[in-house]
């Protein structure tokens, strides 16, 4: 079973644009929050990982926007790991307002060191099944 996390958040005023809609760039910031909170739910702090020299960079993003969100809307973001290799993790996201799907997305993140060089994801972040 793949790790999954549900985050509740509320659209902030300056995140909405003159149309009154949550700006499409902001979704990527929400997805990043989803990844960070998913990691925290598994017992890891991304802030501490960075202090240890373990960084993740986004190498690929795909988003399909289905319906707009507005200032003060309460949203739920589901984040799950769909694939993990020794250097990359693929996540999938669904952002909803109530039962309405606002956006679906996938990202690929890669593990890099302080110099931005691709590196192996530390063993303690590998899923149990990968130890087999």
List interacting residues with a copy of itself (CB under 8 A).
12-14, 16-21, 23-26, 28-29, 32-33, 36, 45-47, 50, 55, 57-65, 68, 70-72, 116
Straight-line distance from the first to the last Cα atom of the chain, in angstroms, rounded to the nearest whole number: 15
Which burial class, exposed, middle or buried, applies to 39 when counting CB atoms under 10 A from its CB (0-12, 13-18, 19+)? buried
Provide, rounded to whole angstroms, the least separation between the CB of residue 120 and a copy of itself: 18
CB of 81 to a copy of itself, least distance (A): 18
Cα separation, 119 vs 132, whole angstroms: 21
The secondary structure element, H or E, covering residue 101 is strand 100-112
Least distance (Å) from a copy of itself to the CB of residue 40? 9
If you count them, how many residues does the chain have?
A: 132
Closest CB to a copy of itself among 8 and 132? Answer: 8
72 is catalytic: no
Q: Which residues are catalytic?
A: 17
């Amino acid at each position: 079973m793949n790790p999954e996390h549900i985050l509740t958040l509320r659209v902030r005023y300056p995140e909405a644009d003159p149309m009154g809609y949550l700006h499409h760039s902001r979704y990527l910031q929400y997805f990043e929050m989803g990844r960070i909170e998913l990691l925290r739910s598994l017992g890891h702090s991304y802030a501490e990982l960075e202090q240890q020299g373990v960084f993740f960079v986004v190498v690929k993003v795909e988003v399909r926007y289905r319906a707009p969100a507005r200032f003060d809307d309460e949203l739920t973001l589901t984040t799950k790991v769909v694939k993990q290799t020794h250097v990359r993790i693929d996540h999938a996201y669904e952002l909803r307002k109530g039962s309405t799907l606002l956006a679906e997305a996938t990202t690929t993140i890669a593990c890099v060191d302080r110099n931005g060089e691709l590196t192996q994801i530390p063993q303690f972040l590998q899923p149990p099944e990968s130890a087999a």
